Amino acid sequence: MKSMRQLTAIIEREDNGYVALCPELDIASQGDTVETARTNLVEALELFFESADPTEVARRLHSEVFVTRVEVAVG
């Protein structure tokens, strides 16, 4: 039986499509729509967990990721 894990997905527009990034593992994917980019990221993450050695998962996994906004002076 497979276990489930919650991870972060950051999706942003890039040119004519979208890029989805999982910062916990530094894995990214893309798609023509937000939903396609999200679905492709889930697939990429599942393939990673299926094929990666447990030591690689442990080495790449960042257990604490904080997503926030900051204000900076420009110009």
Cβ neighbours for 30, distance < 8 A, ≥ 6 positions apart: 14, 17, 18, 19, 20, 37, 40
Residue type at position 41: L
Q: Using CB atoms within 10 Å of the CB of residue 38, give its burial: 0 to 12 exposed, 13 to 18 middle, 19+ buried.
A: middle
Express each pLDDT in 27-53 by its tens digit. 999 999 999 999 999 999 999 999 999
How far apart (Å, rounded) are the C-alpha atoms in residues 21 and 38?
9
Question: Tell me, what's the pLDDT at 2?
Answer: 82
Please state the domain extents for the chain. 1-75
Across 49-59, average pLDDT:
94
Domain 1-75 CATH (choose: 3.20.20.70, 3.40.50.880, 3.40.50.720, 3.30.160.250): 3.30.160.250
Share of residues in the chain with pLDDT > 90 (%): 91
Is a pLDDT exceeding 90 seen at residue 63? no
Question: Tell me, what's the pLDDT at 68?
Answer: 93
